[in-house]
Chains A and B, each alone.
Chain A
């Protein structure tokens, strides 16, 4: 689902239609139609992200599991598509003065404020992906060691070392999101040497943080605090797309925070302030409930992040550690075969991470820049109205 496919055709259509109708007096009906379409598109796009229900046998194309790297990339594509359509509705061919009228004069600055918070979340997630890449590398060491044939004590020890580091690193991250320690110092002497400088760990976490005392959970909270569904007459006006887009932004950011290691996630809200009766929001609400449930489990259990690949690393890592614990030289071939399935799965997970993490990072950067651009476009429009003074900080 490349983002551009949607944009090109849709934006073209909107602008052509706008040009046609701008000359006429009341384009209210046209606007209603646009809004309706927007809601439908939002609903459709998020429906595609929903996991196939068990009752309904999935099509021949296997879908990416929810919260996997590939799934998150799709989610970000959806975000980019929705954002393009949103801007087309709100800015393109529109008299800028409409945007400065109530309630938009309040809603848009609020939205722009949310945008800034989302930018910082994007950065935090980019950092978090670095942690995930670190886990991936540790898992790769284990895979390459255990794949060696014949394997004996040496490889088993090597794999065990890497796996233990992996599990510890993921557990550490989970305990304190601000301090995902990279256990690069494997040995006792190395650890002692690095430990000489007590602030080292602190500095390391600082280098991957957004800023001191920054908290993803708080940002999410601030983003949702003033998000209220428009009511009455507003519900059919331009307040609606602003609300929809803000909801999407909040959902996407929240999902990423819940999925990928991120600075300070404790107290991450699981409440989603979207009225259940909204048709366009059904899929989003469904996804949110599912992810929130997982998150609650995670918080209780204290397992690694919700990222599907990370959960795999955790599960397979644990089982392979068990194997390495009971391993005795010479290797019993049957026992070795027993773990080979796990090993293959771990290898496959690593491969998917290798393929997906860097592109995901690049895509998050794309989202970042898109938000920056959208924000600038709105500020420009507001500036035209001479309202910028109050806004531009």
Chain B
């Protein structure tokens, strides 16, 4: 077509040239064994030359030739118009015949271009006719296009692409209760599958019909029916995407109002769905859709990118708006993990979004996704700060019975343990924050530690969280009336914190120095406990008179009895207390036992107290000490009375 530039052959030289060309064509046409294609090409040239030389078409044989061809094409188009079956269903022969006819008419129209139709009535009439044929043919092509798009669309099941739904759920509860350690132990990060988008291309249209679609696209765009092509193509593909979105993935649309009013449990499950849908839709579906557009419309850059953006726009906006709504909502600490999940999912997909919406047409949506990432990061940071506030604000007025592990301690430790899964993201977010505002981090460790991780922003934040927790625990411990129980409580909780840190990835964030210091802390509480409980009890057994004069004066028998009473009092109370960690319990019992038994044995041995005055033998006492900290109710008389 490009070669058919019409010129007005005014110069004599041109006229001669054209006449010569005519002659050559005639000679060539006389050759017998020409292929049909070649013969047609020669005829085309001949017609074109005639048009170039002016009005000869009026009565020349060429006009008849043109008319003949138009008639032939017209007949074919009309024949199909009467036929209910689809051309592309009928067979490849019919298809190429039909496309050939269109091509022929198109060639004729093109060759008329530049000829002044007002001067040439015959040409004008032919042109009308040709345009009419094209119009009918295009209408037909559009129908064929829709038919193929609708009947050959393919869907992939979401299971087809398994994204290892990042990590096991950790269920958080605002009341700081009900968080079992096990649920977190089980949570492990499964690394994301590689982000090479090439892996995820699926067929959204049967590959067999892609060349057909391409042929229709070429024909329609060549005839300047690109708008009609786009309307049909976009419409059909949008329908397919909608069906995938709403029917196959069973996703729902929410208004921002809906999302903000959603119950937390619903919201968190919708967020999980979003994460999942983002990956499937952006990484697989839309990437494949873009590929499909490229295959069909690769030759027409602008049409191609326009079609893709139009097809995908509503879905992009829907996903975007849900993210916006979540980022707008409140930032209670339990939302942090959801926010971080969303952040990581989006961060991971951003490159793909960028390449999908690379062209101008979708650029504003692309920018919005970048903005959404920033907002999610901001919300995540806020949720993190909310945790610190929540720890400080947790002020129950009743002491935890039996001095065990406070739910807050469990909550916070499991919470931050889960946080380490997101270390890269969090470090990034906290670094950004430090750049944004000069928010100083509460704690500044001065020791020279080996691992740089110990000084990363996340580590600093984690330590500030645990120190907030410690403060809160100290406040809570003051609720106990007995000093001993206060120490048991703190020992238990700090030991729990240390164990959690030692036994997990948290270790490197806190560093050995920190751990040593805190082991020292709970040991200190163990010592303090012993002092608070046993000093007065054992004072009955002391011989040296350092304790008190009055004690010295009472008879050994009496002192033994008083010791027994004091021991029984302690026993009654402290068997109810609780040390959940078996090792810690064992350690404390042994060291208590050493102290008490040693003092008792020495006392009995040295003072030769006869058995009848002794309520408990040394062995009895040892056994009784085993009941301590079991968190049980037991009456002494039934069990071990002699």
Residues of A within 8 A of B (CB): 116-117, 119-120, 123, 126-127, 130, 134, 137-138, 140-141, 144, 148-155, 157-158, 161-162, 182, 184-190, 193-194, 196-197, 199-200, 203-204, 206-212, 214, 329-330, 361-362, 365, 369, 372, 375-376, 388, 392-393
Contacts and interface: CB of A to CB of B under 8 A. Distances in A.
A116 B151 contact: no
Nearest to A195: B150
17 contacts: A116-B260, A130-B314, A137-B227, A150-B118, A153-B131, A186-B143, A187-B140, A187-B142, A189-B147, A194-B236, A209-B253, A210-B253, A211-B253, A211-B258, A365-B364, A369-B371, A388-B330
Given A150-B117, A193-B150, A203-B242, A123 B232 contact: no
Given A193-B146, A393-B261, A123 B235 contact: no
Contact of A157 (B132, B150, B232, B235): B132
A200 B243 contact: yes
B124 A372 contact: no
A112 to B, nearest CB: 10
Nearest to B328: A372
B66 to A, nearest CB: 16
A207 B227 contact: no
A372 B261 CA distance: 16
B260 A203 contact: no
Contacts of B315: 207
A200 B448 CA distance: 66
B133 interface: yes
Given A120-B257, A155-B135, A209-B253, 5 more contacts: A153-B128, A154-B132, A154-B133, A186-B143, A190-B143
Contacts of A150: 117-118, 124, 127-128
B275 to A, nearest CB: 20
Contacts of B135: 153-155, 157-158
B254 interface: yes
B243 A203 contact: yes
Given A186-B142, A204-B238, A207-B318, A214 B147 contact: no
B247 A199 contact: yes
B143 A189 contact: yes
Nearest to A181: B235
Contacts of A188: 143
Nearest to A182: B235
A154 B260 contact: no
A204 B224 contact: no
Nearest to B360: A358
Given A137-B231, A157-B135, A204 B143 contact: no
B243 A197 contact: yes
* Of B124, B241, B256, B331, most A-chain CB atoms within 10 Å: B256
Interface string B237-277: 01101110111000011111110110000000000000000
B314 A212 contact: no
Interface of B: 86, 117-118, 124-125, 127-136, 138-140, 142-147, 150-151, 224, 227-228, 230-232, 234-236, 238-239, 241-243, 245-247, 252-258, 260-261, 313-315, 317-318, 321, 324, 328-331, 364, 368, 371
A357 to B, nearest CB: 13
Contact of A190 (B232, B254, B328): B232
A238 B235 CA distance: 51
Contacts of A184: 146, 231-232, 234-236
Contacts of B136: 154, 157
Nearest to A137: B227
B247 A123 contact: no
Contacts of B146: 184-185, 187, 189-190, 193-194
Contact of B247 (A138, A149, A203): A203
A155 B130 CA distance: 11
Contact of B328 (A193, A375, A388): A375
* Of B127, B146, B364, B371, most A-chain CB atoms within 10 Å: B146
Given A116-B257, A189-B147, A152 B128 contact: yes
A120 B255 contact: yes
A140 to B, nearest CB: 6
A393 B139 CA distance: 54
A117 B132 contact: no
Contacts of B330: 388, 392-393
Contacts of B151: 193
The secondary-structure label for the interface of chain A is helix
Nearest to A187: B143
Contacts of A182: 231, 235, 238
Contacts of B140: 187
B231 A154 contact: no
A393 B267 CA distance: 12
Contacts of A361: 364
B127 A152 contact: yes
A119 B239 contact: no
A393 B150 contact: no
Given A127-B314, A194-B236, A207-B315, A189 B242 contact: no
A207 B128 contact: no
A362 B363 CA distance: 11
B150 A206 contact: no
A204 B243 CA distance: 9
B147 A123 contact: no
B101 to A, nearest CB: 15
Contacts of A127: 314, 317
Contact of A204 (B130, B242, B253): B242
Contacts of B331: 392
Nearest to A152: B128
A208 B135 CA distance: 31
Contacts of B235: 182, 184-185
Contacts of A161: 139
A372 B256 CA distance: 11
Contact of A207 (B230, B238, B258, B368): B238
Nearest to B230: A137
Contacts of A134: 231
B395 to A, nearest CB: 15
A372 B324 contact: yes
A225 B64 CA distance: 76
Contacts of B317: 123, 126-127
B55 to A, nearest CB: 17
Given A184-B235, A365-B368, A190 B318 contact: no
A203 B239 contact: yes
A28 B130 CA distance: 80
A77 to B, nearest CB: 18
Contacts of A119: 256
Contact of A206 (B138, B231, B253): B253
Contacts of B364: 361-362, 365
A154 B131 contact: yes
A203 B144 CA distance: 23
Contacts of A199: 243, 247
Contacts of B125: 330
B88 to A, nearest CB: 11
B383 to A, nearest CB: 12
A200 B143 contact: no
B554 to A, nearest CB: 60
Contacts of A388: 330
A150 to B, nearest CB: 5
Contacts of B230: 137
Contacts of A149: 117
A226 B317 CA distance: 31
Nearest to B375: A372
A169 B329 CA distance: 37
A210 B314 contact: no
A194 B142 CA distance: 13
Nearest to B364: A362
Nearest to B325: A119
A199 B242 CA distance: 10
B286 to A, nearest CB: 14
Contacts of B228: 141, 162, 186
Contact of B313 (A116, A130, A193, A329): A130
